[in-house]
Structure 1
Amino acid sequence: MSLKKKFLKSKPVCKVTFVLAKEQAKDAGNVKLVGEFNDWEIEATPMRRQKDGSFSVTLDLPTGREYQFRYLIDGEIWISDPESDKHAFSPFGDCENSVVMA
């Protein structure tokens, strides 16, 4: 799992690519990116399977903010990103959300 960021010079936007590695996705049929940037809507941001078996999606996020997120595999398994910028406790259980700083 990893985050790739590209800050745009022309406007206050950061292009963030979220990647769930093949090892984490295992035999997933689908993976969704769920977080504050899409109001935690499960179906809002599906990720695409790549040729190497990983899943990825790129979002344009306004800069100067932090966004909590998690990955949802096959509608059942929630995974945090250990390589995110930081982590925050989730108010829904004893898990941690990943955080990306744009």
Structure 2
Amino acid sequence: MLERTLKKGRTEVTFILPADTPSGPVSVVGDFNGWRPGVHTLKARRDGKRSVTVALPSGSVQCFRYLAAGDYWFNDESAGDMDGPNSRLHT
């Protein structure tokens, strides 16, 4: 799930997943971090989910995917758009 918060000149996007699906550490990787795993790792929240927030330029298009333990790549269906194998996010 994605949550967007508009700020001056940027959009803060919060990437949210259940606490245990998939199990183990999960990173969101994409255009905004050079597709480097571990830069934006989801952390546990009090509500039983895990998330990470990334500030992105407003009006941009960013491709991303999640990377879980065991080299398991997956998309965020709530992004609503795809670019090949990647989720696409419009800010």
Runs of 4+ in 1 over 3 A off after TM superposition: none
Alignment gaps of 5+ in structure 2: none
Aligned residue for 2:32, secondary structure, equals helix
Q: CA deviation at 1:79?
A: 0.7
Partner in structure 2 of residue 100 of structure 1: 89
Distance 1:60-1:3 versus aligned 2 partners, 3 A rule: same
**TM-score (normalised: structure 1):** 0.79
Is contact 2:19–2:44 with CA below 8 Å preserved after alignment?
no
Alignment gaps of 5+ in structure 1: 90-95
Is contact 1:37–1:61 with CA below 8 Å preserved after alignment?
yes
Question: RMSD of the alignment, in Å?
Answer: 1.6
1:34-55: CA deviation from partner (whole Å, max 9, x where unpaired): 0000010112111102345432
Q: CA deviation at 1:3?
A: 0.6
Partner in structure 1 of residue 63 of structure 2: 68
Report the AA paired with residue 6 of structure 1: T
For the residues of structure 2 that align with 1:81 and 1:38, how far apart are their CA atoms? 17
Specify which of 41, 46, 49 is matched with residue 41 of structure 2: 46
Percentage identity across paired residues of the two chains: 33
1:46-86: CA deviation from partner (whole Å, max 9, x where unpaired): 11023454321011111111100001111511010111031
Q: Which has the larger radius of gyration?
A: 1
**TM-score (normalised: structure 2):** 0.88
1:6 corresponds to 2:5: yes
